[in-house]
Structure 1
Amino acid sequence: MVLDPHRWLELRRFRSLYEVGAMSLREIAKETGLNRRTVSKYLTGQAPVAPPKREPGTQPRQRVVDEVAPLIDAMLRSEILLKASVIHERLVQEYALAINYQRVRIYLQEARPRIAEELGITPGELAGLHRRFEVVPGAQAQVDWGDEGQVLAHVGIPKVYSFHMTLSYSRDLFCCFTTSQDLASFFDCHRRAFTHFGGAPMTIVYDRTKTVVRRHVAPGEAVPLHPEAVAFAGHYDFDIDVLAAYRPQGKGRVERQVLIVRDHVLAGRAFSSIEEMDAAFAAWVPLRRAKVHGTHGEIIGHRAVRDHMALRPLPKTPYVVAQRHLRHVGKDCLVAFDANLYSVPARKVRPRQLVEIRATKSQVTLHSAVPGASGETLLAAHPRAVGRGARIVDESHWDGLPTGAGRRTTTGDGPPPRRDQPLGPEAGSLQALLNRAAAASVEVGRRPLSVYDELTGTRPFTTNRVTKEPS
């Protein structure tokens, strides 16, 4: 079999994978659609290495990857160093395309240099490099999470996270610790950071966390923001800046602060509560501000003064972010939220009714979907449970429900219960019937079934079969 030039070039791309053992001859034959003997012939050196000449007028065979080539090229134009595994993952998950990873990898060997030349850059020389930027005082802050693991597992807290905000101009930092990364905790940490700095920056840089981004989109498309994040930013008058995917260099200043806090505040110490961890950071802040920063060459505290003075003033009333969810009411007047149960008044709800849950960091309120006669929707308010499996119940919510206090049982062997009201003349026979022992002693008459057959005039039923004697 003589291969056409296109199929020969495609088969030659698999040579390096075959030589290092990444793919077998059978797998290559399946990918290329060629016979296994043909693949072995061209990859083991039995066939000439020069490509056969294509006959004039013939068209190269269409590859599967050619159909998604424009999409892959667009991804490379947004990020030239995007990995083949990331591109393949996005094609499968976001675009529901069934394409082999090796085909994407082989295509990138040709496409990446071409796109880099088109953009005027050299990927090999720019690997691991990024553009440095400088900002004016009060212009920008960066936010990130840190996972501190099980530092409080000995007191029953399974996971602890650290929230970090760093002012980009001075590198002045804020950190607090929490047990959750949910929406309410995330923006509660923002309010604490603004209080720490004395104002809000003009812009805050985030990665694509679910508390800021409503859903992920393809490269080049506008990122849809979470409604609560937009409302919070509007209340404190700052802009949201979301980084491109897989670009942590865009907030490297706060990324570095996560490691610094971990080394200087947490390393080698034991804590028994979140409050102790927050106090340890607050005690370390003056030491940090007294140091000369290696990048801008100034004392962090002196530069932070200019940064703080340029921040925007805080509004008089804080914005309280609440998670909103719809849940059904159980028959026990309990509503499940975040693996915990909260009670609602039995007189105001019905089983399977939908109620709205509004949860902040410290409180959970339950609201009716339809306002009452007074226009109020609030059904109940509870402190938010810590952990999972808790049941927060207000006993007054169960008023009017059966308590089971009137239920009694008896064996019937003892004397009948005394009553205040005297019974009539038939009390003797009635009490005898109610008494189990007396009822058991009543004799019941027994009659043969033939008596009932005579009364009804029916022929008695018999199971005796009449058999004919042999003659």
Structure 2
Amino acid sequence: MVLDPHRWLELRRFRGLYESGAMSLRQITKETGLNRRTVAKYLAGPAPIAPPQREASERPRRRAVDEVAPLIDAMLRAEVLLKGAVIHERLAVEYGITINYQRVKIYLQEARPRIAGELGISPGELAGLHRRFEVVPGAQAQVDWGDEGKVLAHVGIPKVYSFHMVLSYSRDPFCCFTTSLDLATFFDCHRAAFAHFGGVPMSVVYDRTKTVVRRHVAPGEAVPLHPEAVAFAGHYDFDIDVLAAYRPQGKGRVERQVLIVRDHVLAGRAFSSIEEMNAAFAAWVPVRRAKVHGTHGEVIGHRAVRDHVALRPLPQAPYVVAQRHLRHVGKDCLVAFDANLYSVPARKVRPRQLVEIRATKSQVTLHSTVPGQDGVTLLAVHPRAVGRGARIVDESHWDGLPTGTGRRVTSGDGPPATRREQPLGPEAGPLQALLNRAAAASVEVGRRPLSVYDELTGTRPFTPKSPMKEVR
């Protein structure tokens, strides 16, 4: 009988106690749960240096991953850097094979260097490698942001950003500078880029920016796109291509372009406005297009001509991107948005009604969530307020609401009928109103006993403690 290594380690703890006489063989047998003869055999003999080993089986142990190993090897031969999560997903979706992800991951540690050796790639060269791709003219553009920091801090602009779009086939660049990264600005820059190139590429590559991706998801799941990004892409007829997380190599052309513009346009120069920065880039574009690109070996401008010809035409009307929000209508017919208030027609809404706000950089429109009898949802159009705490009100929206001009007051002078006919109109100032209040306070009040009221109502006379009660 070969003792299990774990049991051998447990039994070895008692050798010193047994040899010193602190514990008997019977006590050790009871403590370890082993057979008495087994305990006596291992305690009586010399102490082994290593635990006993099990005899090797003639038949190798078969792992669950061995059944799918040929499939995994075939995937690695097609793409040696294919991720384990992608292989695990394809095994389940395409082949219906359910296997633990960790088993696939452990197998890849052995299989990837082996397949790389078969392909003539040394294991040290695997780190940092990625597959280069080429596209046809007009097929793709790549987009990215650059942070230019405090370039205009001396004129009161705290932050400046650069928007970049590069045509992947020719590396023809576009850049413009902004002070915001919001949704409207992002797609305004797209329109400027399409006008610069004279058309629209078939697809645009993005990283997982929040102006394109609604929320982040786990690897392998479908990426939910921002509704305005989908609408914009549909209007201009291009496809949205979102990169996998932590894969900047997928848009290396535009990543490199950010650094080139920073070095050749901004470095060593001073600017006083965004317009000057944009003009500096426009002046540099012909210089860039005259260069021979180090990768494709052609003049960028010559290759850009083929790129521009293959672009899709611009639509007749531009698509204006708007921020969309739902808000409740207040009792004063005002709707709050971005710390400002905007009015809606009183005859078309009710208190606490839910309305949709569509805000562009210069305009705010308010829409009903349900079309009216004429099929129109538009309620009001206002210029967008600058700053916070503003009230943008169209006086016609309050038509039909009480104005308060029919109220009347009396000053206390003259007969009651005459006093009631004296209104306190808008021409009466604060001083006149104060005088009227003082006159009313000086009106003499009649005094009569409470028994008079008892006689008028026919109730039992009430005897007060004091003979007279002042009644006002």
TM-score, length basis structure 1: 0.61
Tell me the alpha carbon deviations over residues 150-181 of structure 1, each in whole angstroms, 9 at most, x when there is no partner: 44456565543322110112111111233433
State whether structure 2 residue 266 is matched by structure 1 residue 266.
yes
State whether structure 2 residue 246 is matched by structure 1 residue 241.
no
Which residue matches 2:256? 256
State whether structure 2 residue 144 is matched by structure 1 residue 139.
no
State whether structure 2 residue 175 is matched by structure 1 residue 175.
yes
The alpha-carbon deviation at position 207 of structure 1 amounts to 1.3
Tell me the alpha carbon deviations over residues 436-465 of structure 1, each in whole angstroms, 9 at most, x when there is no partner: 24548x88999xxxxxxxx87999xxxxxx
Which residue matches 2:112? 116
What is the alpha-carbon distance in structure 2 between the residues aligned to residue 311 and residue 110 of structure 1? Answer: 46
The alpha-carbon distance between structure 1 residues 49 and 353, as it changes in their structure 2 partners (threshold 3 A), is farther
Q: How does 1:440-459 map to 2 (within 5 A)?
A: none
Q: How does 1:48-67 map to 2 (within 5 A)?
A: none
The one-letter code matched in structure 2 to 1:353 is Q
Which residue matches 1:27? none
SS in 2 for 1:346: coil
SS in 1 for 2:265: helix
* 1:436 aligned to which of 438, 441, 463: 441
The alpha-carbon distance between structure 1 residues 249 and 422, as it changes in their structure 2 partners (threshold 3 A), is closer
The one-letter code matched in structure 1 to 2:131 is R
Gaps of 5+ in 1: 8-47, 57-72, 84-105, 425-430, 447-454, 460-471
Which residue matches 2:283? 283
What is the alpha-carbon distance in structure 2 between the residues aligned to residue 342 and residue 146 of structure 1? Answer: 35
What is the alpha-carbon distance in structure 1 between the residues aligned to residue 277 and residue 155 of structure 2? Answer: 14
What is the alpha-carbon distance in structure 1 between the residues aligned to residue 55 and residue 163 of structure 2? Answer: 65
The alpha-carbon deviation at position 281 of structure 1 amounts to 2.2
Tell me the alpha carbon deviations over residues 363-398 of structure 1, each in whole angstroms, 9 at most, x when there is no partner: 321101222343321111123345655544434434
What is the alpha-carbon distance in structure 2 between the residues aligned to residue 407 and residue 284 of structure 1? Answer: 71
The alpha-carbon distance between structure 1 residues 354 and 241, as it changes in their structure 2 partners (threshold 3 A), is same
The one-letter code matched in structure 2 to 1:436 is A
The alpha-carbon distance between structure 1 residues 221 and 436, as it changes in their structure 2 partners (threshold 3 A), is closer
Matched-pair contact (CA < 8 Å) for 2:81–2:130:
no
What is the alpha-carbon distance in structure 2 between the residues aligned to residue 294 and residue 187 of structure 1? Answer: 31
The alpha-carbon distance between structure 1 residues 251 and 385, as it changes in their structure 2 partners (threshold 3 A), is farther
The one-letter code matched in structure 1 to 2:145 is W
Matched-pair contact (CA < 8 Å) for 1:141–1:203:
yes
The one-letter code matched in structure 1 to 2:263 is D
The alpha-carbon deviation at position 273 of structure 1 amounts to 4.1
Which residue matches 2:381? 381
Matched-pair contact (CA < 8 Å) for 2:413–2:439:
no
The one-letter code matched in structure 2 to 1:214 is R
Q: How does 1:394-405 map to 2 (within 5 A)?
A: 394-399=394-399
Matched-pair contact (CA < 8 Å) for 1:432–1:438:
no
The alpha-carbon deviation at position 252 of structure 1 amounts to 0.7
What is the alpha-carbon distance in structure 2 between the residues aligned to residue 279 and residue 125 of structure 1? Answer: 44
The one-letter code matched in structure 2 to 1:307 is D
The one-letter code matched in structure 2 to 1:371 is P
The alpha-carbon deviation at position 433 of structure 1 amounts to 11
State whether structure 2 residue 304 is matched by structure 1 residue 304.
yes
Matched-pair contact (CA < 8 Å) for 2:290–2:301:
yes
Tell me the alpha carbon deviations over residues 240-291 of structure 1, each in whole angstroms, 9 at most, x when there is no partner: 2221110001101101111222233334445454333333322322232233
What is the alpha-carbon distance in structure 2 between the residues aligned to residue 417 and residue 274 of structure 1? Answer: 69
SS in 2 for 1:280: helix
- Bigger radius of gyration, 1 or 2? 2
What is the alpha-carbon distance in structure 1 between the residues aligned to residue 214 and residue 351 of structure 2? Answer: 32
The one-letter code matched in structure 2 to 1:220 is G
The alpha-carbon distance between structure 1 residues 380 and 152, as it changes in their structure 2 partners (threshold 3 A), is farther
SS in 1 for 2:246: coil
TM-score, length basis structure 2: 0.61
Which residue matches 1:91? none
What is the alpha-carbon distance in structure 2 between the residues aligned to residue 403 and residue 54 of structure 1? Answer: 99
Tell me the alpha carbon deviations over residues 118-165 of structure 1, each in whole angstroms, 9 at most, x when there is no partner: 764877532222222222222211111222344445656554332211
The one-letter code matched in structure 2 to 1:161 is Y
The alpha-carbon distance between structure 1 residues 235 and 437, as it changes in their structure 2 partners (threshold 3 A), is closer
How many corresponding residue pairs? 360
The alpha-carbon deviation at position 111 of structure 1 amounts to 7.2
Which residue matches 1:92? none
SS in 1 for 2:136: coil
The one-letter code matched in structure 1 to 2:326 is L
Q: How does 1:289-438 map to 2 (within 5 A)?
A: 289-385=289-385, 391-399=391-399, 416=412, 422=418, 435-437=440-442
What is the alpha-carbon distance in structure 2 between the residues aligned to residue 182 and residue 188 of structure 1? Answer: 10
What is the alpha-carbon distance in structure 2 between the residues aligned to residue 407 and residue 136 of structure 1? Answer: 78
Matched-pair contact (CA < 8 Å) for 1:235–1:319:
yes
After TM superposition, the structure 1 stretch with the greater mean CA deviation from structure 2, 261-270 or 163-172, is: 261-270
SS in 2 for 1:347: coil
The alpha-carbon deviation at position 352 of structure 1 amounts to 1.7
The RMSD of aligned alpha carbons is 4.7
What is the alpha-carbon distance in structure 1 between the residues aligned to residue 438 and residue 175 of structure 2? Answer: 79
Could you tell me the percent identity over the aligned residues?
76
The alpha-carbon deviation at position 357 of structure 1 amounts to 1.5
After TM superposition, the structure 1 stretch with the greater mean CA deviation from structure 2, 319-328 or 191-200, is: 319-328
Which residue matches 1:125? 125
